[in-house]
Amino acid sequence: MKEGKKLFEGLGIAFSVMIAAIGFFTFLFLAASAIRTFLENRIIENAITSVQKGDKSTLGQQSIISSSTEVLLNLKRREISKSILDLEIPGLQNGKPVSSDEYSYQTFHDFFSGLGWIDSVQTTLWHDKQVSAFVLPPKFEWKRVDSASEINTEQACVRDECYSVRGLELFRKNREVPLPEEVRGRAIMTLSVAALDTQWRIAVVTKEDEEFKTWVYAFNGEEFKNLRGSGSLFSSKYIGTAGMGGNDGGWFLLYGGYEGKALQFLSDGSVVEIPNIFNTRLMDGGFVPGISKVGYGNDATWFVWSKEAGRIKFIKLFQNGKSTIDGAVDLTSSISSNIGIVRRFVCNGVVSGKSLRCNADLETVSSSWDFNDYGFDNSKPYTIVSANISNNILPVHRGNISYFGSDGSGKVTISLSNDGINWDVADNNKEIIFKNIEANRMFWKMEYTPASNPMYSVFFKSVKLDFKLKR
């Protein structure tokens, strides 16, 4: 009887120990899962912050995520930004995880806000940090003009009839011109006017319910015509002024807020939005834009500059022979290197051919300058080569690349390599199977042969690579 009792007590103790062990290991598993989730969330938050700030660090320049479906699903649910993360994530189909015992998935993005993931020694294409893009090296000349009239950016004149903005009111000489009835009584924040060949354009920015709405009108000196028909043309979370410029053959509008919004109005009356150029870095907190157009039709070149003292900007927009703007290059730094430190810099005159007349106010004197645009250096082929973007010890067996940009009528060849020696030409979004099955690195390369027209340039804005590592 005693022996049975001892046996029963022994079994009870063993069962208790087993239950305690199960509880302990369950606690360890839950704690590890919680720590993993916490660390993944911190990595994601840091990556988002770094990318938004244009950081050159690892998190700022790449989004490399191992095949953790929880992380991928989390990113997809957040829908951080289509400009930061492509929502079609490798390893997911229709938002559901794809299991693979054979491969581990990784994805990489570079938006060229810096050169942290570029091999600067082998790369010869010109990097524009402010626009965050690769373009051909720009060619131009600043030439001082001895005798030139002062540029007046306060007036918009068609022949001898001029309109100006004073505060939040529109004037013709000293007579106030009533604004369109649909914006009267609203909280008007900014007002701007621009002259085309035969008409004017008026832009009114109002604030309504923490949103800033832009109303745009064609004005012939007698009546206003809302370009949308009625209501505002677009809205923004940020206050700004709409800068406009061009001619009857087409004009351009840039909303100069913290985030820019660019619209090109074509000769047929249609309007297209120009994306992926006026990012927060290029806008630099926002400015009052001036717009100048040189040329007509598909050969037009546009220049954006700032009307504000102390806010110097000079940005060139090019069309590559197309009907719409295809790319941009920031030439602001060329002002200080060729003219000097200026307090205010404005342009509004087309001299001849591809020349633009500008005025520069230095500390004590003012001077006039012609910007002679020679396009880009198309005298030789150019290359971009990446650094190694794989951070895993597993061998890379497959990869594909997608990229955003324009070829500027030149020839673009993209190649991938998993060892930096053997390269395979890769079509956009076509998977490559690497021959070296032991290599565990990942590189991409772009080789560019420019077009014969020096006014055309590649505009290479971003790359995304998906690759599979053999488990």
Q: Per-residue pLDDT tens for 415-442?
A: 999 999 999 999 988 999 999 999 999 9
Amino acid 457: pLDDT = 98
In sign, the C-alpha dihedral spanning 66, 69, 74, 75 is positive
Q: What is the band of 147 on the pLDDT scale with cuts at 50, 70, 90?
A: confident
Q: What is the mean pLDDT of residues 228-253?
A: 96
Distance, in Å, from the CA atom of 286 to the CA atom of 397, rounded to the nearest integer, reads 46
Task: Determine the residue type at 266.
Answer: L
b/e sequence 444-459, b meaning 16+ C-beta within 10 Å: bbbbbebbebebbbbb
pTM: 0.79
The domain locations on the chain are 150-348
Q: What is the mean pLDDT of residues 59-88?
A: 37
Distance, in Å, from the CA atom of 354 to the CA atom of 328, rounded to the nearest integer, reads 16
97 closest CA partner among 64, 131, 72: 72
461 closest CA partner among 117, 109, 106, 139: 109
Distance, in Å, from the CA atom of 465 to the CA atom of 470, rounded to the nearest integer, reads 16
Share of the chain above pLDDT 70, in %: 78
Backbone angles phi, psi at 107, to 5 degrees: -135, 150
The backbone region for 333, taken as left when phi is positive above 0, alpha when psi lies in -120 to 50, beta otherwise, is: alpha
- At 71, which helix (H) or strand (E)? helix 69-78
Burial classification of residue 249, based on how many CB atoms lie within 10 Å of its CB (0-12 exposed, 13-18 middle, 19 or more buried): middle
Amino acid 52: pLDDT = 41
Query: How many of the other CB atoms lie within 10 Å of CB of 361?
Result: 14
How do residues 266-311 score in pLDDT, each as one tens digit? Answer: 999 899 999 989 999 999 999 999 999 998 899 999 999 999 999 9
279 closest CA partner among 141, 155, 112, 416: 112
DSSP symbol at 288: -
CB within 8 A of 35, min separation 6: which ones? none
Count of all residues that appear for the chain in the document: 471
Amino acid 230: pLDDT = 94
End-to-end C-alpha distance for the chain, whole angstroms: 58
Amino acid 44: pLDDT = 47
pLDDT above 90 for 5: no
Beta strands in 13-150 (DSSP E): 92-93, 96-97, 103-110, 126-128, 133-135, 138-145
> Please, are residues 136 and 377 in contact by the beta-carbon 8 Å criterion?
yes
DSSP symbol at 7: H
Residue 248 tokens read as: 């009857």
Q: What is the mean pLDDT of residues 369-397?
A: 95
